[in-house]
Amino acid sequence: GVWTLSRDERAVILQANERFRVAVTPHYAALADPDDLMDPIRLQCVPSAGELVSYPFELDDPLAEEEHMPVPGLTHRYPDRALLYVSHNCPVYCRHCTRKRKVSRPETAASRSELRVALDHIRATPEIRDVILSGGDPLTLSDGRLDEILGELRTIPHVEVIRLGTRNPVTLPQRVTAELCDVLAKHAPLFIHTHFNHPAE
């Protein structure tokens, strides 16, 4: 059903939207009880007043991903694996996101030329055997663009494992089409990492 926002929710959304966008797909919204302000789906989507409070000990980059970024769009913290950011968009902007500094801000995503540099870094670093496509959500890219990126990774001999992290199976399951599956199958073996945060999902 349609959510009726409380007065407090409306007020917080107007303020929070300046710091981190609010977006919910119809599918994900439909999983919630529209009359329950404490519904677990709703709590992941609608900003709360606590989100507007910043404490001195808080970090913009709590996982220190930028600290281990040799080139834009690539975190290389562990010797044998790297995290490749291919998009900063998501179907749903989860309020608990640890990448609020850049997710929901498309202008901060690595450009096509920066992604080329990131792929070149992987190519030039034989220790990297495991690459995780992340973002944002990689499935916000077109099938063609995903095909290009996965194809590039498959040309790198020392990359043995390719993983893709996505919340689309719960936030936008319509994105998982036969055509997408055909693209992903071309680059098998490919490991899909997703996460469900509550039984309601």
Residue-wise pLDDT for 186-195, tens only, equals: 999 999 999 8
Please report the pLDDT score of residue 103 as a whole number.
Answer: 82
Residue-wise pLDDT for 67-77, tens only, equals: 777 898 999 99
Better-predicted residue by pLDDT, 50 or 121: 121
Tell me what percent of the residues of the chain surpass a pLDDT of 90: 65
Q: Which helix (H) or strand (E) holds 163?
A: strand 161-165
Grade residue 92 by pLDDT with cuts at 50, 70 and 90.
very high
Task: Give the pLDDT mean for 146-168.
Answer: 97
Q: Residue 59: is its pLDDT beyond 80?
A: no
Task: Give the pLDDT mean for 98-125.
Answer: 87
Q: Determine the distance from the C-alpha atom of residue 152 to the mean position of all C-alpha atoms in its chain, rounded to a whole number.
A: 20
CA atoms within a 13 Å half-sphere pointing along the CA-CB vector of 201? 18
Highest mean pLDDT among 19-28, 100-109, 149-158: 149-158
Grade residue 16 by pLDDT with cuts at 50, 70 and 90.
confident
- Give the chain's mean pLDDT: 91
Q: For the residues of 130-163, what is the DSSP string, one character each?
A: EEEEESS-GGGS-HHHHHHHHHHHHT-TT--EEE
Q: Residue 41: is its pLDDT beyond 90?
A: yes
Q: Could you tell me which of 23, 33, 24 has the C-alpha nearest to residue 1? A: 33
CA distances from 135 to 30, 89, 123, 164, 170 (A): 25, 7, 20, 10, 16
Residue with tokens 């749903």: 92
The three-state secondary structure class of 89 is coil
Q: Could you tell me which of 115, 91, 121, 117 has the C-alpha nearest to residue 103? A: 91
Cα distance between the two ends of the chain: 15
Neighbours of 7 (CB within 10 A): 7
Task: Give the pLDDT mean for 93-114.
Answer: 83
The DSSP letter of residue 73 is T
Grade residue 56 by pLDDT with cuts at 50, 70 and 90.
confident
Please report the pLDDT score of residue 101 as a whole number.
Answer: 79
- 118: amino acid identity, one letter: A
8 A C-beta contact, residue 55 and residue 7: no
Task: Give the pLDDT mean for 103-119.
Answer: 86
Task: Give the pLDDT mean for 15-20.
Answer: 83
Task: Give the pLDDT mean for 78-104.
Answer: 89
Q: Which helix (H) or strand (E) holds 84?
A: strand 81-85
Please report the pLDDT score of residue 64 as a whole number.
Answer: 66
